[in-house]
Amino acid sequence: MKKPHQCYQIEKDKCYISKSFNILAWRPPAKEARLKLPCSLAFILTACLILPVAAPALATPAEAALTFGVIRSRSAVLTAQHWNPILRYVSQRSGVPLRIKLAKSGPEHAAMIRRGELDFIYSNYQFAPDNDTVGYRVMVRPLTGTMRSQIIVPANSPIHSLDALHGRDVVFTSQVAFAGYQVPMDALQRAAIAVRPQFAGTMESVLGQVLSGRAQAAAVSSEIAKEYALRRNLAYRVLWSSEEYPDIPIAAHPAVPPEKVNAVRAALLKMADDPQGREILAASAPLFGRPPPYGFAAASDSEYNQMRRFYQQRLAPQDKP
C-alpha cells in the first residue's frame, strides 16, 4: 500500500496540496463554483499548472480508485475545477471510485494512452496509430455533438487567405493534437503551404497568443475557440475550416470490468436528468464557456471511424519530431 501524501491544508476553500505539488483535490465553496480564486490559493495552484494533477480517491481501503485521464485543452487548474465535481458525482452514483489524472503535456497524455495506463479517458488521442492497439471503447460523448479544426487570425490581421501564411509562423497545440495540429497541418501540406510550426502546449495558450496579437495565426478547435472568444470578448477571422468531426468522447480501457463500465456510463447519461447532477453540470460549464444543453449522450466506437480514416489517408505522419 502506498504511503499517504504529506499535505498542506488551506481550510478556507478546502484545497489540499501535496509537497510534490500534485493537486489532490479542489473543492469550491458549496454555494457555487467560482471562476475567481482567493489570491493565496491562486498563487499556490498556479505553481502546479504544468504538473500532474490527481483528485482524491473516493475509495474504501478495499477498492482503489480507477484513473480518469483528461486531455488538456485548458490549464490544469481549470481542467480540475471542471472535472472534479463531475467525477465525484459519478463516483457516488455509480459506486465506482474515480480520480482525475492529468498529464503535463499532450505527448505525455498520448503516451499514457499508448501504454494503457488509464482506466477511463476523455480524449480522442486513442484513434491515432500506435495508440489504437490498446482498444479503448467509446462510451459517451458531450451533448455538444461535433467540432471542426480551424486556422484563424486576429480580426484586424492583414492576412486574408491561407496562401498568405506561406513562410510564416503558425501556432499549434502539440504534434499529437488532432484538431490543433494533425488535421490543419495535413490541409496545409495538401495546399503546398509551408509554415513554421510553433507549439504552445494547450488550446487556451494557442488562443491567448493569437488573439493577443503575439502570434500571426493559429490552428484551433472551433468550439474551444468560440467559447474562449466569447469569454474574453475577442474576435477572430477564420481562414480555413475542416469537415465536422464528432466531439471528444469518454472511453474505457478493455480491462475495466463490464459492470463498472456500465455503471459509469449510466451515471453519466442520467446526470442531466438528476437535479444534483444538473446543478453540477451547470456550475462546471461556465469554466469552459460551454452553452447548454449540458450532459452526455450515448456514443459508440463506429461513430469515430471518420477520425481513423483521417489517420489512414493523411499525407504523412505529423506526430514525430
Q: What is the pTM of this model?
A: 0.79
In angstroms, the CA 145 to CA 160 distance is 29
Share of the chain above pLDDT 90, in %: 71
Instruction: Assess contact for 57 and 84: CB atoms under 8 A.
Output: no
Instruction: Assess contact for 73 and 204: CB atoms under 8 A.
Output: yes
Q: Is the pLDDT of residue 52 over 60?
A: no
Q: What is the mean pLDDT of residues 296-306?
A: 96
Q: Is the pLDDT of residue 61 over 70?
A: no
Q: What is the mean pLDDT of residues 256-266?
A: 98
> Which domains does the chain carry?
7-145+247-310 (3.40.190.10), 146-245 (3.40.190.10)
**Residue 233 to residues 34, 78, 230, 236, 312: CA-CA distances in angstroms?**
19, 19, 5, 10, 38
Q: Is the pLDDT of residue 158 over 50?
A: yes
pLDDT of residue 130: 87
Q: Is the pLDDT of residue 246 over 80?
A: yes
Instruction: Assess contact for 108 and 242: CB atoms under 8 A.
Output: no
Between CA 233 and CA 78, with CA 278 as vertex, the angle to 5 degrees is 45
Q: What is the mean pLDDT of residues 57-76?
A: 79
In angstroms, the CA 166 to CA 27 distance is 47
What are the pLDDT digits (tens) for 111-124?
A: 999 999 999 999 99
Q: What is the mean pLDDT of residues 9-32?
A: 35
Judged by average pLDDT, the poorest of 1-5, 93-97, 300-304 is: 1-5
Strand, helix or coil for residue 5: coil
Q: Is the pLDDT of residue 56 over 50?
A: no
Judged by average pLDDT, the poorest of 89-98, 103-112, 143-152, 181-190 is: 143-152
Contacts of 210 (CB under 8 A, 6+ apart): 152, 153, 154, 171, 216, 217, 218, 220, 236
In angstroms, the CA 50 to CA 14 distance is 21
pLDDT of residue 39: 42
What are the pLDDT digits (tens) for 187-231?
A: 999 999 999 999 999 999 999 999 999 999 999 999 999 989 988
